[in-house]
Amino acid sequence: MSAPRHFLSLLDFSGEELTALLDRAQAMKATHRAGTAQPLLARRTLAMVFEKASTRTRVSFEAGMAQLGGQALFLSPRDTQLGRGEPVEDTARVLSRMVDIVMIRADAHAMVENFAAHSRVPVINGLTDLLHPCQLLADVMTYQEHRGSIHGRTVAWLGDGNNVCRSFVNAAARFGFALRVATPAGYAPPLDGLAEAELTLTDDPDEAVHGADLVVTDVWASMGQEADAGRRLADLADYQVNAARMRRAAGDALFMHCLPAHRGEEVSAEVIDGPQSVVWDEAENRLHAQKALLATLLGA
């Protein structure tokens, strides 16, 4: 049995493969809207393992499988033996004999890697402490839908150098855009294991957004960091994306946020609910991008 192909990081695909994937996502979005989509994944089953909360990731994968004629199973550690200490390796061996593909949202990236190493079927990373590659499929798709190729553009990330930020670093390398990351000291993304990209790290948010084509941020306390939220909010207070910051960006700059958002913290209500914000398209495109990913990994 040949080793399955996983999607744990954007780096698991080449730039050409990612571009083809997003073209397919755009085509699938069009056929879905036209009501002419084919049931490409009939009789296929996706297992979804969630160690953390989710709205978008769960619903986009579950609805996506239904739209493609397949099925999705929601598995929480609260209800499975995984939550009672059954080893990840054993769970991977068993699930992958029963389902065709697995999506995992885990606390530790190492858990997903360990699962994938013992799985007979493809494994998709639905967010870990380290990376959120599915989010970047939707983000690049959304930019390109509104503004054309992201190649050669400049993206500014403000705030915490978290899992989504680290996937932006990989996206910068794979799609060929320049990335400026503005964080306070101690919040820069650890770069080990990431692709070498055209990357500027700074502690100056105004410098980062200057002339940028896309401005992005995310929550200041990610899932699992709740106990530390007070200190993080104080440390990151000067990194909000607000109207003054957006005025420094390019005139046609877009704003993105993976959601859920905290208005008044990392982004002002005026920006996220304003005309430059494409966050609802971004959320919708999780569905289309992941349908293309599922079909590609399953060879459909």
Q: Which residues contact ligand NVA by CB under 6 A?
A: 127, 162-164, 218-219, 222-223, 258
**Given the residues 174, 232, 286, 288, the one annotated as active site:** 286
Nearest residue (CB) to ligand NVA, 24 versus 58:
58
- Whole-angstrom CA distances from 250 to 144, 155, 273, 278 are 16, 11, 18, 15
Q: What are the helix (H) ranges across 104-162?
A: 109-117, 133-147
Q: For ligand CP, what does the binding mask look like between residues 118 and 157, x meaning CB under 6 A?
A: ---------x-------x----------------------
Length of the chain, in residues:
300
Q: How many angstroms separate the CA atoms of 61 and 29, rounded?
A: 14
Considering the complex, what minimum distance in angstroms separates the CB of residue 233 from ligand NVA? Answer: 14
105 is catalytic: yes
DSSP 83: G
217: helix, coil or strand? Answer: strand
135 carries an active-site annotation = yes
CB of 93 to ligand NVA, least distance (A): 28
- 286: annotated active-site residue: yes
DSSP characters for 55-69? SHHHHHHHHHHHHTT
Nearer to ligand CP, 138 or 215 (CB): 138
> Of the residues 56, 105, 109, 232, which is catalytic?
105
What single DSSP character describes residue 220? S
176 Rama class: left (phi>0) / alpha (psi -120 to 50) / beta: left
Q: Is 93 a catalytic residue?
A: no
Region binding ligand CP by CB under 6 A among candidate stretches 51-59, 79-87, 148-156, 170-178: 51-59
Amino acid (one-letter) located at 251:
G
Q: Which of 29, 56, 109, 291 binds ligand CP (CB under 6 A)?
A: 56
Distance (Å, rounded) from C-alpha 228 to C-alpha 131? Answer: 20
For residue 243, give both structure tokens. 């109207």
Q: Which does 240 bind (CB under 5 to 8 A by kind): ligand CP, ligand NVA, none?
A: none
Q: Any catalytic annotation for residue 132?
A: yes
Name the residues annotated as catalytic: 105, 132, 135, 218, 258, 286
Residues that bind ligand CP (CB under 6 A): 54-57, 127, 135, 258-259
